[in-house]
Amino acid sequence: MIALITLSDAGAKLLTPLIGHWPEARLYVHESVQDASLRRDGDRQASGRLEEIHGKAVGEAPAVERFTRIADLTAALFPVCRGLVYAAPCGVVVRAIAPLVQSKWKDPAVVVLDAGGRWAVSLLSGHEGGANDLAIRIANWTGAEPVVTTTTEALKTVIVGVGCRRGTPAERIVAAIRETLTEAGVALNDVRWIASADVKADETGLIEAARTLEIPIRFIAAEEIRDSLREFSRSNFVAEKVDLPAVAEPAALLAGKRTRLIRRKATFYGITISLAREGFLWLEALPETR
């Protein structure tokens, strides 16, 4: 079971649209949360994008369970859930789970969203428990920025932007990514994300390619690409097909922090691939790396 837990009206509006993604998900809200905050059509900014991508219907308020103390609720859910998703302050969640934590091999995945939906933090059981993947999935659905602090993941710096036609097979996308990385002299283990536009969020071949390569995939909101002031190559063909100025280059640039293109878009097998690299300020400041 996935438990969606919040203390606030804003958190309820953020979590309610996520219910449709997990048949086993259950929503838990504090007794102070207003019923109006639970309407699935109450916040078009949060729910509209999910419906556009996944075809989810807007409905009335879902079934919820009320709670009084988050520590008591967490103690009851911790042993029986595979994932706990909170829309609450990190400090509150840390205090709630602290007495329950045992082992990264046993503990459920814990992800924390701020009530504004800016960040999706992988807080506990990031790698082994699946919180990293859960944070990324939630970020894709809500437009939040995933926060993954696992060292082996955080030090990866390359983002692969991908644009493809509808129905492109996964094996062709995998081949295009591998060929691009080889030509650029980049190891697969240095890739942090595969990135594309959210209009591709239901593209089976792209999702399967990411799974095959064992690289998380991020989907960047179309409006973020349209509004971006970053410099990237624009395509009339892409504008005609998906109403975007481009996909591969802006997705690669916008999926990370302090990014720069290290490989402009190139086409392989009808698939557009671009590479961006993130800059670490602390690393760039070291004399031996200048």
The pLDDT tens digits of the residues spanning 143-171 come to 999 999 999 998 999 999 999 999 999 99
56 pLDDT higher than 90 = no
Strand-pairing partners, residue 73, are: none
Dihedral angle of Cα 30, 34, 35, 38, to the nearest 10 degrees: -70
DSSP code for 108: P
pLDDT of residue 164: 93
What is the distance between the alpha carbons of residues 79 and 82, in angstroms, rounded to a whole number? 8
Which percentage of the chain shows pLDDT scores above 70? 89
51 pLDDT higher than 80 = no
pLDDT of residue 72: 97
pLDDT of residue 282: 63
The pTM assigned to this predicted structure is 0.84
What is the distance between the alpha carbons of residues 243 and 250, in angstroms, rounded to a whole number? 14
> Average model confidence (pLDDT) for the chain?
88
The predicted-structure confidence for 245-273, as pLDDT tens digits, reads as follows 999 999 999 999 999 999 999 998 889 99
pLDDT of residue 20: 81
pLDDT of residue 44: 40
Q: What's the Cα-to-Cα distance from 68 to each of 6, 30, 116, 134, 153, rounded to whole Å?
A: 11, 6, 22, 26, 37
Query: Residue 9 corresponds to which tokens in the numbers above?
Result: 């009206």
Q: 254 or 61, which is more confident?
A: 254
Mean pLDDT of 230-234: 86
What is the distance between the alpha carbons of residues 1 and 4, in angstroms, rounded to a whole number? 10
- Residues 173, 176, 180: CA angle, nearest 5 degrees: 140
What is the distance between the alpha carbons of residues 73 and 68, in angstroms, rounded to a whole number? 8
Mean pLDDT of 277-282: 82
pLDDT range class, residue 233, cuts 50, 70, 90: confident
The predicted-structure confidence for 184-221, as pLDDT tens digits, reads as follows 999 999 999 999 999 999 999 999 999 999 999 999 99
8 Å CB contact between 131 and 110: yes
Query: Residue 5 corresponds to which tokens in the numbers above?
Result: 């837990």
Q: Count of residues for the chain?
A: 290
The predicted-structure confidence for 66-111, as pLDDT tens digits, reads as follows 999 999 999 999 999 999 999 999 999 999 999 999 998 899 999 9
Cα Dmax for the chain: 59
Query: Counting runs of H as helices and runs of E as strands, what totals does the chain give?
Result: 12, 12
41 pLDDT higher than 60 = no
Mean pLDDT of 35-40: 76
Strands 109-113 and 83-87: parallel
pLDDT of residue 47: 38
Mean pLDDT of 119-129: 93
